[in-house]
Structure 1
């Protein structure tokens, strides 16, 4: 057995690769467990139904405490109760079941991802190039998992890409590295890989974002058909697509729905009807950057020297201040250069009273990290203008961007579909 690299089980001593993997995630609000799927978990920490950033951060802290310090499920439950009480979170499911799912899945999958990081060491793989599937001591063994016990394959065999444990809720199976001598000593045979029979499963029947069909190998629960942490260990294949800037609507252009980023779920429902705004919400041309800045900050009660923390319709916070319009705290303002100076009041309206709020995970090209961005959408109609318009305010850990347009295509289905991507956190009732 792979004693050379075998790490202690989760819930015991600290395991560096496991801790590094977990700390490499970013907090992503979600409404349902189906909003983030398979390898997306390599980049995002999620708790289904936790949409507020502060709540998610505190839940993450409780999980990380267990991973880093080896605390027990009972200690996690005490921390969980404190977080729930602090935020008044109304979560779904019974406490015992919910805390066990959060704790067990995060600890076991981060442990498995840490093991994958160990197994990726080139020198170690030369000495131990094989993987052995070992069934865990589950209370209710799955017949197919039992059948896979002892399966021995090269570590680069494609079978591992879908069958590396954990392979279901509560699954305790593991994968161990082995040398040819280990295999001979244990009386095992290398290959062939068990045949994979695929099946379609419908998930998220009660999800706010609606059901969808996924194709998985038989014997594996939906969402577990991947190798934990493996997507981070394949530098030749970018794990997420590079971030696409907000698409600019162009008169006469044809748009196609894109699938950039993670968790790109889209709803078929139409956005709420446009709301009419006074013509004064569009500022005159030719104002100074300072005038435009004062107008925008004033919408939130902020000033150039006193930023404010604005809470959006989901309860998340956005800091409103001068830094939004400059590269440095004392640098020059860059408002007119942004192209949306005249529509800043409408962008403020979009942040304060959006039609929809979407959140998605994006990859920062060249920085090897992911960020979470919130996208606020609002359709509106300016008095005296015959054409509905669209405003978009997007904010993330790397800054914000805004778009507004009066061209007809801004209200088209194709253009909207480019923007309505990710997890829908809020939709304004008509």
Structure 2
């Protein structure tokens, strides 16, 4: 089982911005994760195969508590397991949809809850950091991509480690972390003085961003193929494409890019 959120910056949770981001989310019911557009993911809470509102709201409430109170992944799983079992949303079950199609699906499980915890706390943290950094672009206009460099880090994510782009560079529209399932990357803001002291240079996304359509997944019952867009950054030295469905910025998708408006929202 995945252990904790395993981030060096986890001690910063909960920030008021992360709490505000998740609290603003509504509930959204979907069967497959790829049926939900990125902007809807940014503004609503959903869990694949959770087709009942009581299940979705139970999960959402506990994720909110995790962000509000900084509870551990272990506590999150321990608390939710009996509640979801009581609701009948647990283990592998054969589910029949409205068209009469039967499908064996994995509902709740410790592994599933670990993923829900990790994804939602990390997205909330990074969206919260986005609003914090957008409030300080006058003094810290340079944003640095920071990957966790260990054996679990994807090579493509490691390639972006320590690259710096201006806060308003197009790169951040599609490559602001998390950039895939279980991604642990983050962003930190730097001042011009700090940039000079560290000997850093600014990278640019313009001319190096390539957007294309990719298959997101196929509904097993209907056979319908869902497609989405994905954007690759390739400057000749570094090439990185976020995982399918992750090529967006959760902070700007939820709050926009207008600094004056963000200051009012948070």
Q: TM-score range by the shorter chain?
A: 0.7 to 0.9
Aligned residues: 228
Q: What is the CA RMSD across the aligned residues, in angstroms?
A: 2.3
- Report the counterpart of residue 227 of structure 1 in structure 2: 249
For 1:148 and 1:235, locate their aligned partners in 2 and report how far apart those are by CA, in whole Å.
23
Which TM-score applies when normalising by structure 2? 0.78
For 1:191 and 1:105, locate their aligned partners in 2 and report how far apart those are by CA, in whole Å.
28
Stretches of structure 1 lacking an aligned partner (at least 5 in a row) = 1-7, 237-367, 369-430
**Pair 13,71 (structure 1): closer, same or farther in 2 beyond 3 Å:** same
The answer to whether the aligner puts 1:161 opposite 2:183 as a matched pair is: no
The answer to whether the aligner puts 1:189 opposite 2:189 as a matched pair is: no
Which TM-score applies when normalising by structure 1? 0.49
- Report the counterpart of residue 38 of structure 1 in structure 2: 38
The answer to whether the aligner puts 1:127 opposite 2:136 as a matched pair is: no
Q: Quote the offset at 1:9 in angstroms.
A: 3.3
Q: Quote the offset at 1:13 in angstroms.
A: 4.6
For 2:125 and 2:52, locate their aligned partners in 1 and report how far apart those are by CA, in whole Å.
27
Q: Is the 8 A contact 1:138 1:171 kept in 2?
A: no
Stretches of structure 2 lacking an aligned partner (at least 5 in a row) = 1-7, 92-105, 233-240, 259-264
Work out which structure has the larger RCO, using CA pairs closer than 8 Å and 6 or more positions apart in sequence: 2
For 2:152 and 2:74, locate their aligned partners in 1 and report how far apart those are by CA, in whole Å.
22
Q: Is the 8 A contact 1:27 1:57 kept in 2?
A: yes
What SS does structure 2 have at the residue aligned with 1:21?
helix
For 1:147 and 1:58, locate their aligned partners in 2 and report how far apart those are by CA, in whole Å.
38
Q: Quote the offset at 1:52 in angstroms.
A: 1.4
Q: Quote the offset at 1:138 in angstroms.
A: 5.2
What SS does structure 1 have at the residue aligned with 2:112?
helix
For 1:167 and 1:235, locate their aligned partners in 2 and report how far apart those are by CA, in whole Å.
19
- Report the counterpart of residue 56 of structure 1 in structure 2: 56
What SS does structure 1 have at the residue aligned with 2:169?
coil
For 2:172 and 2:257, locate their aligned partners in 1 and report how far apart those are by CA, in whole Å.
18
> Which has more radius of gyration?
1
For 2:11 and 2:60, locate their aligned partners in 1 and report how far apart those are by CA, in whole Å.
16
**Pair 94,43 (structure 1): closer, same or farther in 2 beyond 3 Å:** closer
- Report the counterpart of residue 177 of structure 1 in structure 2: 189
